[in-house]
Amino acid sequence: PGLKKTDSQTVGTEVYGSKFTGEEQFFKDYYESLIKDEEGQELLNPWSLTINQDSIFMCSAASETKILHPHNGEVKELISDTLWPGCALGTTISVGRNNNLIAQNNGKTASYDYKNKTISWRIESDVTSQPAVGYGLVFVINQGKLKAHDELTGELLWQFTAQDKLTSNIIVAAN
C-alpha cells in the first residue's frame, strides 16, 4: 500500500520504473564509476535500491546515496555526507518510520534524516548484517549477538546471545 502502483528493479546499471500492469514508466542508466579501496585497488561501486511511497533510494558502497523520483527516475537529492556510511556490498537501506534511512558499511551503522538532511545517529561497531527496522527499533547482528537500538536515538536497548552464533540477515514481521 502507498507505493502508487510503481515498482523498480535493477539490471546492471539500469533502473526501470513500471506500473504493476507491466507498462514501462521510465528507464534510466545510472552507471557508477569504480571506487578505490584502502590499498588503492579499483573496485566496482555497486548500488542497491529501496523504495517507499515518495522516493527510490539508490545506495552505493561509497558515502553517497541518490534519492530518485518514483515516477520518472530523476535525481531529487544527493546524500553525500561524509558521516553517512553508504551500503555494504549485498545490503540496502532500511527506511524507518521517521523520515530516516538506516544503513551499515565499514563497521558503522547510521541513521540519516532525509527530510532535515542530517545524520541522526551513528554507531561504530562490528555489524555483520543489514539493519532491519520495525516497531521503533533497529535490529543488527553485532559480534554474533542480536542487538536492538532505539530508531530515533540509536541507543542500545537490549541484546540477545543465542547458543549458536547469529550470522544471517534479520527480518522483522508482525505476529
Burial code of 76-113, b = ≥16 C-beta within 10 A, e = fewer?
Answer: eeebeeeebbbbbeebbbbbbeeebbbbbbeebbbbbb
The stretch 49-62 carries a mean pLDDT of 80
Given this model, what pLDDT does residue 137 score?
93
Given this model, what pLDDT does residue 154 score?
94
Given this model, what pLDDT does residue 31 score?
56
- pLDDT tens for 113-151 read 888 888 899 988 777 678 889 999 999 888 888 899 999
Instruction: Quote the pTM value.
Output: 0.73
Q: Which range has the top average pLDDT, 24-28, 80-84, 142-146? A: 142-146
Confidence of residue 81 (pLDDT cuts 50, 70, 90): confident
